[in-house]
A and B are shown apart, each in its own frame.
Chain A
Amino acid sequence: KAGVTQTPRYLIKTRGQQVTLSCSPISGHRSVSWYQQTPGQGLQFLFEYFSETQRNKGNFPGRFSGRQFSNSRSEMNVSTLELGDSALYLCASSPAGRGSSTNEKLFFGSGTQLSVL
């Protein structure tokens, strides 16, 4: 089975631009969670989607948004980029269903490294 696939692997943008990152979960997984990883703040939860609905959300400004498609692939979008948005963005998928907790088993992708200049 293929793992979690994130594209692109690296991205360079300038301040004020917007960016879209993509995540393809493991086949059969309906939950996708997004995390931001920076040297200063560490790993922080952005949001989770399950069956095309946002189920949980972290403490990030509205510039950070996401969506999930019917095939469970997910995208996250950051608008009006700031220097502080430079980070490794990790996506994780989970096989858990509605009745169980998705954090019990998270499978992470290798991430998208975003640099904002």
Chain B
Amino acid sequence: AQSVTQPDIHITVSEGASLELRCNYSYGATPYLFWYVQSPGQGLQLLLKYFSGDTLVQGIKGFEAEFKRSQSSFNLRKPSVHWSDAAEYFCAVGAYNQGGKLIFGQGTELSVKP
């Protein structure tokens, strides 16, 4: 079955500290992988995506993610967190022939301590 697991429901980091959010997926086909961010009362904003090629992808707001096929993982990282990064982060998986359908993880809520 296709699924996405985000093991951490809630993470708290200090401002300026590094961040890593974990994502593991189970998908039969070659997956498209995404990270989205959602602020309270808002829709989802795409941070970055991986389709093929270089396994380290850069996104907006200083985020990057690394695709590791052997571990079925696509972890999101940021070297220095800002207070404005506090939000909920969703990992998602899709495929070329799935149109607008993405399978989302349950999300990781990020809190940032001053």
Contacts and interface: CB of A to CB of B under 8 A. Distances in A.
Contacts of A50: 99
A48 B105 CA distance: 20
A22 interface: no
A48 B100 contact: yes
Interface residues of B, number: 27
Interface residues of A, number: 26
A87 interface: no
A44 B2 CA distance: 13
Nearest to A102: B100
Given A101-B32, A103-B32, A105-B46, A56 B105 contact: no
B101 A48 contact: yes
Given A42-B105, A104-B32, A104-B49, A31 B43 contact: no
B107 A111 contact: no
A42 B51 contact: no
A94 interface: yes
Interface stretch (B20-28, B67-75, B90-98): B90-98
Interface of B: 32, 34, 36, 41-46, 49, 51, 90, 92, 94-107
Interface of A: 4, 31-33, 42-45, 48, 50, 55-56, 58, 90, 92, 94, 101-106, 108-111
